[in-house]
Amino acid sequence: MPTITAGVTLNSSTLFPNSSTVNFTATEIVSGSALFQYTVVSQSSTATIYGPSAAADPTETVYFYAQAATTNPGNLLLAITGSNTSASQAIILRPGDWTYFPFYVSAAGCAIRASNTATSSALLNVFYGARS
């Protein structure tokens, strides 16, 4: 089965009273659908970047990554919606920012949408891989 490996290093000598370093690597199995693409989010619009999901396996986890291009004209706002969630924006991606998180798909209709309020288009790299 295919796997994905995600790693993060947090290192600061000034953020906390003492210097701090945290390293973490996670390796996850992708046994369902997967996709890597870039999406153009037009000016003053919203684009669906994941979903809406079909009826899901009750144990399905989706590993999701998105990265805003450094050349984007402004922030992109990500909203996660589904059968039991609100449509509020959960993540702000400033130009060059990225996010990676696993989320649980418990029913049909789960979606992630990116909103662009800038006056020109923005680019977003997206990966997702499902484990069921």
Within 10 angstroms of residue 122's Cβ, the number of other Cβ atoms is 26
What pTM did the predictor assign?
0.82
Distance CA 81, CA 23 (A): 31
Give pLDDT tens digits for 7-59.
Answer: 888 888 887 788 888 888 888 888 888 889 999 999 999 999 988 877 655 56
Look up the CATH number of domain 30-131.
2.60.120.510
Q: What is the pLDDT of residue 16?
A: 76
Distance CA 32, CA 26 (A): 18
